[in-house]
Structure 1
Amino acid sequence: MNVPLTLDRPWLRFDLGGPHRVLSWALNRPGFVTAEAISWREVRNADLTQDLDVLDWLTGQLALRGTPDDVCFLTSRDIRAVTEHTTTAGTATARAVATVGLSNAEHIGTRLDRSGRDWGTINVAVQTDQALAEPALIEMLAIAAQARTVAVMQVGHQLPTGLATGTGTDCIAVAAREGAAPFAGMHTDLGEAVGRAVHTAVLEGAQTWMQTVRRPEVC
């Protein structure tokens, strides 16, 4: 879990140090998959034209890079603004890596017209040193999502529809070695470690965005 991040703009790569079970809704490898790394690809709206098959393009980009099996996020957030945090609670350690942009932020249960805007998005990857069964990965994903939402709300980004709770294109990936541990809830060491690691990384990233990138919302 101590492998340094590789930042080679427009790419960011989080090496997991070996095969892990990864759960996400990433475009290229959604659901439960086995992967050795999670990558980010920075893009601009101009890169993703209306007639472009984005999945085919991304698959080709990963193949050219020699990392075809990576789970990969897409974001227009400057990936040099990446944040990371590692937390240990009891017997469990979690490492969270995040890029945080709120340019297409939403308040849950509502939608704004985001056409023509950059897709800043929030992408979070979380790795634990615990070996988990698939139900625990699902619970770990839920904990990470809760931590992300709390962090976003704490920066107080006010929209015409209410307080920002996330963005329309957020994605989270959780990773662990395959094992038998069945739980990762808030009453467990793992749930505490994951929650604190994600909350800290996302809060730092959101605060940076608010201070350096934020644009006024049209009410």
Structure 2
Amino acid sequence: MITLRKSLERGHADHGWLKSFHSFSFAEYFDPAHMGFGPLRVINEDRIAPGTGFGTHGHRDMEIISYVLEGELAHRDSIGNGEVIRPGEVQRMSAGRGIRHSEYNHAEQQTTHFLQIWIQPDELGIDPGYEQKAFSAEEKRGRLRLVASPDAVDGSVKLHADARLYIGLFDAGEQAAVTLDPERLAYVHVARGELSVNGQRLRAGDAAQLQAEAALTLAEGRAAEVLVFDLAR
């Protein structure tokens, strides 16, 4: 079964300095029909205005992934990390028993456009942690590149959750066909462009929830950047 979640159906918040779309219930946006999908709890598409950002704040017991699409995001946290996340880089922050951090767009003119993803961990109260890796466009071109997994295989960042995240770029005749475990869940989020997911057309901000499906086909892309989650039920 495939259920579509269209971009315009998402929650939306405009704080002036921050414009955000929420795929699942978050902050002041609440929809009991969209509380998450398996362990996937949050996908926020955020745009941070130049010279602004999230001040220091705390998290607990969540695997948090940041993926920058445009601009840069400066990160600083309470366990000593201070990094800049650039397009193509995947940051994983394990909040564990508690972490505080800030995220800032220091650019004078460019908006930072990024995805903030929360995944519920398998175990609570772990040591907080941080990891950041770059994945080139060539690695994602016309295929799904594993970027986050519980066993950190193929150079992916390590998740403390039964979930895997793949990212791919598709254009023209490029396509990917993937075998799915029908006992698991799959979630497809189109970050940019458009493409067909099992024959159904999705555009930027759209998503597809797959349950009891044995295969996933991505095709007919037009400047498409897509995230695919393999999730426990």
| TM-score, length of structure 2 as denominator length | 0.29
Higher relative contact order (CA 8 A, sep 6+): 1
More helix per residue: 1
| TM-score, length of structure 1 as denominator length | 0.30
More strand per residue: 2
